[in-house]
Amino acid sequence: MKNTSIKIAALSKADYEFWLPLWQNYLKFYETSLPSSTNQNTWHSLLDSNVPIYGFGAWQDDKLVGITHVVLHPTTWSSMACCYLQDLYVDESVRGQSIGRILIEGVYNFADEKCCNHVYWKTQESNTDARRLYDNVASLTDMVQYRKNL
């Protein structure tokens, strides 16, 4: 069921006080926290036209109820850029209203406008609620992520 009362828009400087609680709840969901300097850097990067990081919000009745952050980057496998959907969060009070799907579709539209060849993201294997949605809007790959923190 598509929720037509949701409006997707790029985040703007005036949205900070609405964005920050959602961002903090997203971090809490992943059982992490970041220094305030990192949160500030993230916010400024979302607004900086010289940084290929973009933020979008889902608005319902003038209330920010969901956010997504994406990173555009080149790839060695194509002459076109690709879009990494790095963060996606919908407020718990409005889950089940297709807002996550609408945000993802908004990212698809943005990536298409930017001539990207694909959108990709990752999530925790145990994030079953989100994965039910993701299974309906994208294809699960067989890639395994390795990581070394520096």
Q: What mean pLDDT is predicted for residues 38-49?
A: 97
Burial 68-89 (b: 16+ CB within 10 A, else e): bbbbbeeeeeeeebbbbbebbb
| Residue-averaged pLDDT of the chain | 94
Mean pLDDT of 49-77: 97
The predicted pLDDT at position 4 comes to 57
What is the percent of the chain with per-residue pLDDT over 70, rounded to a whole number?
Answer: 97
Widest pairwise Cα distance in the chain: 44
- pLDDT of 1: 45
- Least Cα distance to 118 among 88, 80, 66 occurs for 80
pLDDT in tens, 73-107: 999 999 999 999 999 999 999 999 999 999 999 99
Half-sphere CA count of 37, side-chain side, radius 13 A: 0
Tally of CA atoms within 13 A in the half-sphere of 84 that contains its CB: 10
What pLDDT score was predicted for residue 144? 87
